[in-house]
């Protein structure tokens, strides 16, 4: 009998501040849920580690303690005699359910009463830097001592995850159990770099990223530029779209890190995020009045009428209904509407529904427009997980005029529903939306390049004029719905950088040993 030796699965550990379905505050939580599952589907042993927050419901998820009294070093110094040398933590495990293709992958939770379980929220505390440093140091201490599973590679997300990579390449660089572990630093938004405003840093507080991470109790911890440190220390740097990976090497988008990123150019990659095709599905979505697919797009009219009726707009299937589903802040570019929205409302048979919250400047603007044009503008200025599905399933177009957009999810979700995106050509928007070409009859949306009001007016007007031609518009919708933004594609691209990172790390270790 012939025996075949199977190559062991590559072990991939994702470390971040949140992961669905356990705890999710934003898009990162969705990535930390879907991407590991997609990698598992193509043969990787992918797992996740996050803090054990108070919001993680143990009634919904069976957690087992796999390590008690983990002594995590704090690096407290002699001038901090009142501070402990170690913080005691526990590690709990959620074991993935075999046979359940909707279950999250095996997930580890770092448990600490003071920094995680006594906190109601994931973010927003003055000592957040301490919490993420504890996560990074605690994770590495755990896997240094835990002999049942050791990662071959760690993928850490944003500045919160950068502590893990920084510790891995400094404190644990010679550890016999961890020195072979490769690393990928995943940048989801370069704008957020740490616990300070990096645009205004004194020479005394400037962090070049080369010094040791100070004690968990040292005020200097709050002044570290962890985004910089993640870029410096990782074997591979990844961003969430190919275009964004190039944009951040420019002064305009580099947020003062463009020079460093250009120095690391050969190790910087961009992979677009995916969307969950099971939950983002117009054929089965329970939040729609009427489900549909690309073969019966006229069924969308029932959802359009529901939006108009629910929001107090004029119920008119011929109106050009545009949706906004977004965080309302400067990044998203809605200041371009300050001088143009009334023009659209007055001159075009157009309606606007807005779902989202954020800066008071934008919320006040949309609120005032809703009062002034109650049959034309409908703001819903609260976070909502249901209404976006109805907007995608009933609105004719989705407006995303972002100043910058690392990846973006809503344009992909909207396209899945046949809601045509009107976007600015930046970041992930540029990578996912193809500008409509009337000569070739190609394209999946309407794209404008310059960040100014005139360019926005042109794009919206183009969309409006083509909407009036039923066959042309349905052709755009069908092409948009046919695009593949599944996590399967994203996982295959991640497979490439995982292999590169592991190869880089093995060569570095071999060189040291030689």
Q: Is the pLDDT of residue 390 over 90?
A: yes
33's tokens = 């849920």
Q: Do domains 11-274+489-513 and 297-485 have the same CATH topology?
A: yes
Predicted confidence at residue 426, as pLDDT, reads: 98
Neighbours of 387 (CB within 10 A): 20
Dihedral sign from CA coordinates of 113, 28, 399, 317: negative
* Calpha distance 180→208 (Å, rounded): 26
CATH class of segment(s) 11-274+489-513? alpha beta
Q: Cα-atom radius of gyration of the chain, to the nearest Å? A: 24
pLDDT level of residue 60 (50, 70, 90 thresholds): confident
Yes or no: say if 190 and 227 are a contact pair by the CB < 8 Å rule: yes
Write out pLDDT tens, residues 371-386. Answer: 999 999 999 999 888 9
Predicted confidence at residue 514, as pLDDT, reads: 59
Percent of the chain with pLDDT over 70: 98
Q: What is the mean pLDDT of the chain?
A: 94
Predicted confidence at residue 6, as pLDDT, reads: 57
Predicted confidence at residue 306, as pLDDT, reads: 97
Compute the average pLDDT of residues 427-437: 98
- Which distant-in-sequence residues (6+ apart) come within 8 Å of 261 by Cβ? 231, 237, 248, 249, 254, 268
Yes or no: say if 44 and 12 are a contact pair by the CB < 8 Å rule: yes
pLDDT level of residue 7 (50, 70, 90 thresholds): low
- Which distant-in-sequence residues (6+ apart) come within 8 Å of 146 by Cβ? 66, 67, 91
End-to-end Cα, the chain, rounded Å: 40
Write out pLDDT tens, residues 495-509. Answer: 999 999 999 999 988
Domains of the chain by residue range: 11-274+489-513, 297-485
Predicted confidence at residue 176, as pLDDT, reads: 93
Predicted confidence at residue 57, as pLDDT, reads: 85
In terms of pLDDT, which residue wins out, 8 or 61? Answer: 61
Angle in degrees, CA 94, 68, 222, rounded to 5: 85
Omega prior to 21 cis, within 30 of 0:
yes
Write out pLDDT tens, residues 401-427. Answer: 999 999 999 999 999 999 999 999 999
Compute the average pLDDT of residues 152-179: 97
116's tokens = 């995680």
Dihedral sign from CA coordinates of 79, 82, 83, 84: positive
Predicted confidence at residue 512, as pLDDT, reads: 75
**What stretch of H or E contains 36?**
helix 27-41
Q: Is the pLDDT of residue 4 over 50?
A: no
Q: Is the pLDDT of residue 153 over 90?
A: yes
Write out pLDDT tens, residues 293-326. Answer: 999 999 999 999 999 999 999 999 999 999 999 9
The residue length of the chain stands at 514
Predicted confidence at residue 3, as pLDDT, reads: 46
Write out pLDDT tens, residues 246-304. Answer: 999 999 999 999 999 999 999 999 999 999 998 899 999 999 999 999 999 999 999 99
Region of 427 on the Ramachandran plot (φ > 0 left; ψ -120 to 50 alpha; else beta): left
* Calpha distance 69→218 (Å, rounded): 24
Secondary structure string (H, E, C) spanning 243-312: HHHHHCCCCCCCCCCHHHHHHCHHHEEECCCCECCCCCCCCCCCCCCCCCCCCCHHHHHHHHHHHHHHCC
Yes or no: say if 184 and 155 are a contact pair by the CB < 8 Å rule: yes
Neighbours of 201 (CB within 10 A): 14
Closest CA to 319 of 329, 299, 305, 337: 305
Compute the average pLDDT of residues 422-438: 98
Query: 297-485 has which CATH code?
Result: 3.40.50.2000
């Amino acid at each position: 009998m012939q025996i075949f030796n199977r190559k062991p699965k590559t072990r991939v550990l994702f470390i971040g501040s949140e992961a669905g379905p356990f705890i999710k505050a934003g898009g990162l939580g969705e990535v930390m849920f879907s991407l590991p599952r997609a990698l598992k589907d193509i043969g990787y042993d992918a797992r996740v580690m996050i803090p054990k927050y108070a919001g993680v419901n143990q009634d919904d998820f069976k957690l087992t303690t796999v390590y008690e009294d983990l002594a995590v070093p704090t690096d407290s110094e002699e001038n901090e005699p009142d501070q402990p040398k170690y913080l005691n933590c526990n590690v709990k495990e959620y074991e993935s359910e075999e046979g359940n293709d909707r279950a999250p992958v095996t997930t580890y939770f770092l448990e600490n009463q003071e920094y995680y379980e006594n906190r109601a929220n994931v973010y927003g505390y003055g000592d957040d830097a301490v919490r993420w440093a504890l996560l990074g140091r605690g994770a590495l201490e755990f896997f240094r001592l835990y002999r049942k599973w050791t990662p071959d590679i760690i993928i850490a997300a944003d500045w919160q995850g950068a502590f893990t990579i920084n510790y891995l390449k400094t404190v644990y660089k010679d550890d016999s159990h961890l020195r072979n572990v490769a690393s990928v630093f995943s940048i989801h938004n370069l704008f957020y770099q740490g616990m300070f405003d990096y645009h205004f840093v004194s020479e005394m507080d400037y962090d070049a990223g080369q010094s040791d991470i100070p004690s968990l109790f040292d005020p200097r911890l709050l002044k570290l530029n962890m985004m910089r440190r993640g870029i410096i220390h990782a074997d591979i740097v990844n961003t969430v779209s190919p275009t964004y990976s190039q944009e951040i090497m420019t002064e305009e988008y580099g947020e003062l890190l463009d020079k460093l990123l250009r120095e690391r150019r050969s190790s910087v990659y961009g992979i677009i995020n995916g969307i969950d095709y099971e939950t983002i599905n117009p054929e089965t979505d329970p939040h729609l009045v009427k489900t549909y697919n690309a073969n019966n797009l006229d069924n969308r009219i029932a959802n359009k009428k529901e939006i108009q009726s629910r929001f107090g707009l004029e119920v008119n299937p011929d109106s050009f209904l545009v949706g906004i589903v977004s965080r309302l802040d400067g990044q998203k570019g809605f200041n371009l509407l300050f001088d143009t929205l009334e023009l659209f409302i007055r001159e075009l048979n157009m309606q606007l529904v807005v779902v989202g919250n954020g800066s008071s400047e934008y919320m006040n603007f949309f609120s005032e427009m809703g009062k002034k044009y109650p049959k034309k503008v409908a703001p819903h200025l609260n976070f909502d997980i249901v209404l976006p599905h109805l907007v995608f399933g009933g609105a004719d177009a989705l407006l995303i005029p972002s100043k910058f957009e690392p990846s973006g999810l809503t344009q992909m979700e909207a396209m899945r529903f046949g809601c045509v995106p009107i976007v600015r050509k930046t970041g992930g928007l540029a990578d996912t939306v193809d500008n409509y070409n009337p000569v070739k009859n190609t394209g999946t949306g309407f794209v404008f390049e310059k960040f100014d009001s005139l360019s926005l007016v042109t794009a919206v007007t183009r969309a409006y004029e083509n909407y009036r031609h039923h066959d042309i518009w349905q052709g755009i919708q069908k092409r948009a719905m046919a695009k593949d933004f599944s996590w399967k594609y994203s996982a295959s691209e991640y497979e490439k950088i995982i292999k590169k990172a592991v190869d880089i790390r093995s060569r570095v270790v071999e060189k040291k040993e030689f």
